Amino acid sequence: MSNEILHKKIEAQFNSLFEEPPEVPTYVQDNLSHPLREYQAQALKQLIYTQELDNADLSFNHLLFHMATGSGKTLVLAATILYLFKEHSQQNFIFFVNSDAIIKKTYDNLTNESSSKYLFRKEGIVIDGQQVSIQVVDVFPTFPDANTIYLKLTTIQKLHIDLTEPKENALTYEALENTRLVLLADEAHHINAWTRRDKRKLNTKEYEERTWENTVNTLLQLNPANRLLEYTATINLNQDVLFEKYKDKIVYQYDLRRFMNDGYSKNVVLLRADEADENKMLNAILLSQYRKYIAQDNDITLKPIILFKSNKIATSRSANERLLNTVQALNVESLSHIINLGHATYKHENSIWSKMFEYYKNQPLPEVIRDLQWDFTEETILNANDKAFLSEDNALLLNTLEEDNNPIRATFAVAKLNEGWDVLNLFDIVRISEGATSTKTTTDSEAQLIGRGARYYPFEYQEERSYTRRFDLVQTDLKVIESLHYHTINENAYIKNLEKSLESASIQLKEDEYDRLEAKLKPAFKKSPVFKNGKIYINKLEKTTADDYRTLSHYNVTTDYEIPFEITVEQHYGKRTKQPGVGQTHEVTWYVDRIYIRKALQRKPFFHFNNFKTYIPALSSMKDFIENPDFLGDLTFYITMPLGLELHHLSPLSKLKMVEKYFDYVEKKMKANYMKERGTPVFEGVSMPELINDYYIELNKVNSKVSNMSEILQKRNMRDNHWYVYDKAIVNSLESSFINFINDYVEELKEKYQEVYLIRNERKVKIVEINGTRGFMPDFLLYLQGEDYTYQVFLEPKGGHLQLEDRWKEDFLLSLSENEDIEVLSENKDVRLLGMKFFSNESNQKNMFRQDFKDKLL
């Protein structure tokens, strides 16, 4: 058999002129409580196709539906039961899964006619004029009634024990030998542990799971008429063993990417911010209430739910208590301050926070507070970590959150709400009290939770109920009730892991979200003697000693620190845009108070003196570190803030967060630079082909740095500019201006030099300050070959916002032509190194660069 997956073969047959796809029988749709969506009907058609073939018992007795979380797999399962009962006289169905919670949910779905989630016709199942009943059993009858479907619901663990340790009134292999069975495996990826792990040595849990898989296979093989139908949203076909097992069994595939792109989900938006839990939780309930108000204003019935997620039970309980205290302590003055601060901070019209705070600016705050204190109380917040949660009443509350008479508005949980938790009106997931140390395993779990939360809430609007998003292309506040917001931390390493997990889970990440920009060396340059025989000169390094670290500058740490006032960043999946939500800004100077320095240092274990002294051997005390001008004595922050906000508007906690962020930066720099290598004044040549070659850059089509447009990379054709060594320049707007500048002077340079080449340094050529440890990679090298000397010129375009922090780089570059100790190890003693002032678009700096350029080169 070929490697083509089964569902693709079926789809190819359906698209041919010679194969008529089967129709979904009328009795199936008539006996379901909901109409089958198009993709659900297609799933059933593809199952029917396999079962109508002559060799169905041999080739298609084991099939898998790979369908996204929230896509309605259980409705497809219910339709399958009806079809197999009517067309193939199957009466005995065993539904099994690895979780008791899913058993309870499925019991309601398939047997409880009073449940709002019952999947069959409320008035009863009728086929060919006969009433058909569903009877839940522990064992199947020897003489079944003609119009009865027998259903056993069990966990895979219990099923395995019943069959391997026979006892009275339980299933046995012997009793089932002459019984036709349909095995319905939900969350089926759990029974594949043995296949996934192949032949490794098993631990106890793995051995247990291996026997589950053997149990299921044994049941399937008891009778040729038996069927095993698996349902899962999670199967990794990149694993060879799983691919081999399932390539001829996946009868239908409708993954999360298709599900979301077809509009059957909420839009997923990441809200990233470094905030205290209290602020994050309060903002979340304000956003949840805003959703409720927008729905009410449009005559839509909605009770939005929030999930507060943490990684420890103690943390979750504490956060629950703090939220209750925060809500109860609200008054008009405190809420007004929060709204005014938010309104001044978030200026961009498309920011959800801008819309929310603008809305609250026009609401009577006493009524808003009254609603908050009514909606978020001990009676309306459920902590899924408490022992009381195990009670039947609480479990019912958690699984009926969409019901009008269910009072719950928020739930706190650690790990209980995963598979089997089915709630459509979840709109906010708030990650609390978690740092940035999450592993890929953790973020994979978060991505699965987001996938469950992304299920669409089918509300009625203008007398029409929709099961797909309807406001994607419309400018309306109603977008907020078609969006899931995931409130998390704003830390790059963690966000990268989360984005990878979301992409792996196919959560609205399009495959072509990245552009690959390539720059290749021009063939003519590669053939030139300059490239073949030329060298790039970089300085030799030597090991450092403890005496080289006597000021923070020796670690490449600045005490003039630029920092933005932290705001929430919104990231919309599918568009991959990140919306900071800020309008005009201004810069505020803060000479950091020592009380904040001391408090931040206390909260950072790295800076505890016994540890910290190993990184600064010259340090005598923490007092010296805080007060000495060589260290933190002159610490100054330049804070970019929304226009209208001043330093005194910042809360003490916000200021402390900024100082802590600075110390994160200090810790990173010190660890990176301590006891490294020091630059020497001796420069030696490295052959040009070793350092200069083709390169590429991958970047988002919609660049994430929307707040700094000069950072957006663009591709510029340079084929006709023979002095530029690459066919394309991949540059930001400042670098493009720099290339224009060089282009203006190329003819003058050629009058003086035989060879003129501008080389983009794509993270290959690094120089290190002489007698220091700080190194950097200049953006460009200008290679000039004259009659007497060959010049290697280091050039660095630099935006105004970095010139203060990177001043040492400019000083180092300028010293190259002035330092008498510099020695260039060249065979012919005819190489000269030059550095220039920073190039900038700011007129004064640009003029200084122009003059420096002319003086040194022309």
What integer is the mean pLDDT of 571-580? 58
What integer is the mean pLDDT of 489-500? 72
- Whether the pLDDT of residue 197 is over 50: the answer is no
- In this structure, the answer to whether residues 53 and 151 fall within a common structural domain is yes
Min mean pLDDT across 237-246, 564-573, 724-733, 826-835 is at 564-573
- In this structure, the answer to whether residues 119 and 166 fall within a common structural domain is yes
Domain assignment present for residue 70? The answer is yes
Confidence of residue 521 (pLDDT cuts 50, 70, 90): very high
- In this structure, the answer to whether residues 346 and 245 fall within a common structural domain is no
- Give me 769's structure tokens: 């300050």
- In this structure, the answer to whether residues 247 and 271 fall within a common structural domain is no
Pick the closest to residue 637 from 652, 627, 648, 647 (CA basis).
647
Regarding predicted confidence, which is higher, 760 or 167? 760
Confidence of residue 518 (pLDDT cuts 50, 70, 90): confident
Q: Residue 836 has what pLDDT?
A: 94
- In this structure, the answer to whether residues 247 and 286 fall within a common structural domain is no
Pick the closest to residue 730 from 703, 712, 704 (CA basis).
712
Q: What is the pLDDT of residues 146-162, one digit of tens each?
A: 999 999 999 888 888 88
Answer with the one of 202, 220, 254 that is the final residue of a domain: 254
DSSP 763: S
Domain assignment present for residue 186? The answer is yes
Domain assignment present for residue 618? The answer is no
- In three-state secondary structure terms, 202 is coil
Min mean pLDDT across 287-301, 352-366, 424-438, 659-673 is at 424-438
Regarding predicted confidence, which is higher, 213 or 858? 858
What integer is the mean pLDDT of 548-571? 82
- In this structure, the answer to whether residues 240 and 337 fall within a common structural domain is no
Q: Report d(CA 373, CA 46) in Å as an integer.
A: 52
Task: Count CB-CB contacts under 10 A for residue 734.
Answer: 17
Min mean pLDDT across 244-248, 264-268, 302-306, 551-555 is at 244-248
Confidence of residue 498 (pLDDT cuts 50, 70, 90): confident
Cβ contacts of residue 519 below 8 Å, gap of 6+? Answer: 694, 695, 696, 726, 727, 728, 729, 730, 760, 762
- In this structure, the answer to whether residues 320 and 240 fall within a common structural domain is no
β-strand pairing of 560-564 with 426-431: unpaired
- In this structure, the answer to whether residues 99 and 218 fall within a common structural domain is yes
- Whether the pLDDT of residue 768 is over 70: the answer is yes
Answer with the one of 432, 466, 499 that is the final residue of a domain: 499
Domain assignment present for residue 623? The answer is no
Domain assignment present for residue 641? The answer is no
- Match 């999947």 to its residue by tokens: 119
- In this structure, the answer to whether residues 244 and 372 fall within a common structural domain is no
Residue 348 sits in a domain whose CATH number is 3.40.50
Domain assignment present for residue 662? The answer is no
Regarding predicted confidence, which is higher, 179 or 274? 179
Residue 212 sits in a domain whose CATH number is 3.40.50.300
- Cα four-point dihedral sign 534, 539, 540, 541: negative
Residue 734 carries which side chain, given as an amino acid letter? L
Q: Report d(CA 594, CA 654) in Å as an integer.
A: 15
Regarding predicted confidence, which is higher, 372 or 515? 372
- In this structure, the answer to whether residues 463 and 530 fall within a common structural domain is no
Q: Residue 709 has what pLDDT?
A: 34
Domain assignment present for residue 587? The answer is no
Task: Count CB-CB contacts under 10 A for residue 736.
Answer: 16
Q: Residue 615 has what pLDDT?
A: 87
For the chain, give the mean pLDDT: 85
Q: Residue 585 has what pLDDT?
A: 85
- In this structure, the answer to whether residues 294 and 243 fall within a common structural domain is no
Answer with the one of 468, 499, 530 that is the final residue of a domain: 499
Q: Residue 783, exposed/middle/buried by CB under 10 A (0-12, 13-18, 19+)?
A: buried
> Which whole-number Å values give the CA distances from 311 to 374, 388, 416, 485, 488, in the listed order?
28, 19, 11, 19, 13
- Whether the pLDDT of residue 420 is over 60: the answer is no
Q: Residue 335 has what pLDDT?
A: 95
Q: Report d(CA 472, CA 149) in Å as an integer.
A: 43
Q: Report d(CA 444, CA 438) in Å as an integer.
A: 10
Task: Count CB-CB contacts under 10 A for residue 629.
Answer: 11
Domain assignment present for residue 69? The answer is yes
- In three-state secondary structure terms, 369 is helix
Overall domain count for the chain: 3
Min mean pLDDT across 410-419, 501-510, 590-599 is at 501-510
- Give me 402's structure tokens: 């969409």
Q: Report d(CA 71, CA 73) in Å as an integer.
A: 6
- Whether the pLDDT of residue 794 is over 50: the answer is yes
Q: Which domain holds residue 175?
A: 6-254
Confidence of residue 393 (pLDDT cuts 50, 70, 90): low
- In this structure, the answer to whether residues 705 and 832 fall within a common structural domain is yes
- Whether the pLDDT of residue 501 is over 80: the answer is no
Confidence of residue 400 (pLDDT cuts 50, 70, 90): confident
Q: Residue 203 has what pLDDT?
A: 54
- As a whole-number percent, the residues of the chain with pLDDT over 70 amount to 87
pTM of this prediction exceeds 0.85: no
